Structure formats: C-alpha cells, structure tokens
Amino acid sequence: MQKRKNPWFIHIRQMLCLGIVSVALGVLLLTVVYCMPVNSVRRNVFASAEKFFVQPDREDARGRLQKYLSQNRELYTDAIMVQNACEKIPGKNPFEHAMWVYHLDLDENVWTPEATLEYLSGGGDTAGMFLHQYSRYWHGYLVFLKPLLQFFKWEQVLWLSAGLEILLTFLVLAVSYRAKRWEAGTAIVIALLFMKPILMLASFSMAVCWVITTLALLVILLRHERLEQEDKYPELFLLVGILTAYFDFLTYPVVTLGFPLCIYHLMKREEKAKKSIFSTILYSGCWALGYVAMWASKWVLADLTLHTGTIKSAVGSILGWTEAVGGRHRFAGGFYVIGLNLQEYDSLFYSVLFGCVIAIDAAAFVTACCRWSVRKAAACAVPYLLTACIPFVWFIVVQHHSGLHVVFTFRIMGVAVLALGMAGFDLFRRAGTGRRSEVAKAERAA
C-alpha cells in the first residue's frame, strides 16, 4: 500500500537538513584532505607529467589513438585539478587551503597549468612563480584525487577512473535489461555515443558528471518503488544537484539531471500529461536548488571565515558565463552557441544515428496513436520532450561558457538524445503492452 505523500513543509525541513549536513561534511572532507602530505603526490604527478605534453611519434594504430586522445581530451582542466592536488603553501593551514584552493603558476595573469606542471616536473624553482587561488569552486574531486595520487601515478589514476566509468555503465545496462527495461539501456547506449565516451574515459575531469549520473540511475532503477512509496524523489534530485556542485568543474552538469529524469519518467509512467509536466519541473527545481545553494554556500562560507571576496568574484564570473555571445541578442547568441556545440557532430555517423532516433519516434507516435489515442500518446511523450529541452535552455542561459568550452559542453546534448530515444522506445512498449491487454480482456470476455 502506497504511503501518503509528505506535506511540503516536511520536504523543506528534510532538504534544509540535507543541505546543512552536505556543507559541513564537504568542508570537513576537504580540510582533512589538505592535512595530507604532498611529497608523494608530487612525485607521482611529475613522474608522468611528460605524457601530458609530448605528442606520440608512433604511426601504428596505438600511436594514432594516443595522438587522437592527446589532441582531443580536456588536458587544461585535468592539469588544474592536478595542480590543486599538488599544492601545499607554507604558512597556510588546511582550512585556508580548503577555502582558497591555492596553486602556483608561471604566469601572473593567464593560467598555464600544463606548462607549469612541465616546468615543475623538470625541477623548476618555485621562487619566481605566482600564487593564484580558485575559491569559486568546491573542488570536491580532491577528496578522491589527492588520496589516489598518494599511491598511484597520474596515468594510473586515469585508468582507475576509466575503469570506474566502464563498471558503472555496465551495471546500469545490466540492471536495466535484467529489470526488463530494455528501452532504458538501449537509449543510454545511443546517448552515450553522442557524448564521445572514449574521450570521457581519457580525462579525469570528464568522468565526474558521468559517475554521479550512473550512480543516480542505479538508485532509481533499483529503488524506484521505495523512493516512490516514501516520497523521497525531491530529496534525491536535491542531493544529485548538491553532489554535482561539489565534485564537478562546470563541465556538463545538467546530464546529472536529464538522465535521471528520463529514467524516472520511464519507471513512473504517468497517465496524465499535467502530472508528468509538474514532476519534471518540480524535480528540475529541486536539482537546481541543490546545485545553486551548494555552490553559493562555498562563496558565503569562504567570505565569512577568511574574507576571500569570493562572492564578488563568483558573481562576476556568473555574469560573464551567462552574458550574450559577441554582443548578440540573448536568443540569437543562444542559437549561435547551440550551433557551435552541434558542430561536434559533423560526421555522417551522428547524422545517420540521430535520423534513426527521429524515425523511431515518428513510427512509435503513429503506432501509439493508432492503438491508443493521440491524447494518450502525447501524455507519454510530453515528459521526455520537456526533458529534451533542458540542454537548449542551458546553452541559452549559460551561453558564454558553453561557447567558450564547446570541447566538453557539447556532451549536454546527450540528454536530448536520451530523452528522444526513450520517448520512442517507451511509446512502442506501452502501445504494445496496451494492445496485448485489450486482446487479453477480449479473450476473457469471450
């Protein structure tokens, strides 16, 4: 028997408690991490730093793959992460490090993390380097990265990260197929192809959002009935937003919202469009609240405790990230940025694959209309179509950042592909199930 839904004041109280605990735990973990020594971290990083910069000369298949990865993976963000893991400034306590997140750089005005790591790995002197800080982010990835670098070289950490991504992806697919949710597994595979998974495996910074996403998918696939019965979905989406703000480096964050939303709609299968629209907006709002509040709490905490000026810096950055591109009107700039991100799919393979997804959607909708009604078919498709709009909203709102970092922001389009794919597959399955139910009823009546 399904329990009665919690009143909203209970949800608000629970989400507030969850937020406070998350901030406190986040500060504690980072402070503890900065208590660790960095000598072994530096040795392990500098021992493999050359692989960041030297282009392979081999012309065989392995050499071409290495060259492709070195030219296309996100080295800049990875290098910043490694810099932050290596640094321990004399005279600064662990809490100051956790709030400020210091790093040394060769340039005073422009960050050059790859060149800085290469310089330091060659035994360069830090006396003439410049001290920078990156207090706008939580940098929660250090909770895992710094302990790993105590024992493993950087390329070994990348292998561990890739192994975790592969393991979690296969777990999601295995659980979905075992639960006879073949539409979920199939659509996830198609969407993942549009996110260029090989490059995700080759970069630590690109792994963060995918790990959070797959963990959220596993929770929903394995615990949907309990979450629904105890009315815990608002808290779940809030927590996913919090984790994304804490661990991610503003890469492709809305994937951690869009993928779980699609799986939720598949498991829930609302019969009325209004309810599915409401749940999409509600849980998107919970995710956004967790994401924004967790991020803002770092700015407030750093300013209150150490007077870092982070709030002013963060507000300036947000205004820069969200400003219209090239003096264009906001919507014109948004569509321009959408076009830039779509250029990542300029090969025939993606065009054919996306065409197949659209063809499946069209065939499924026609089939559902014939077997059901247009109203029922629309009610099934609406939540997926609404979820498919999330990447475009993000590109329009955060257009300057999305235009500047196309090399990884294009992965947000995976949400649209997943939503469209699942819309078609879900329509086919539900229409077929509904048809079989009608036949069974007719047979029983006869």
How does pLDDT run along the chain (446 residues), one tens digit per residue? Answer: 445 566 778 888 999 999 999 999 999 999 999 999 999 999 998 887 766 655 555 555 555 555 556 666 778 888 899 999 998 888 889 999 999 898 888 888 888 888 888 888 888 888 888 888 888 889 999 999 999 999 999 889 999 999 999 999 999 999 999 988 888 999 999 999 999 999 899 899 999 999 999 999 999 999 999 998 888 999 999 999 999 999 998 899 999 999 999 999 998 876 677 888 899 999 999 999 999 999 999 988 888 888 777 777 777 777 766 777 777 777 888 889 999 999 999 899 999 999 999 999 999 888 888 887 788 888 888 999 999 999 999 999 888 888 888 989 999 999 999 999 999 998 888 876 554 444 344 334 44
CA-to-CA distance for 159 and 155, rounded, in angstroms? 6
User: 341 exposed, middle or buried (CB, 10 Å; 0-12, 13-18, 19+)?
Assistant: buried
Flag whether the pTM goes above 0.85. Answer: yes
Contacts of 359-364 spanning 24+ positions with Cβ under 8 A: 360/421, 360/424, 360/425, 360/428, 361/420, 361/423, 361/424, 361/427, 363/424, 363/428, 364/423, 364/424, 364/425, 364/427, 364/428, 364/431
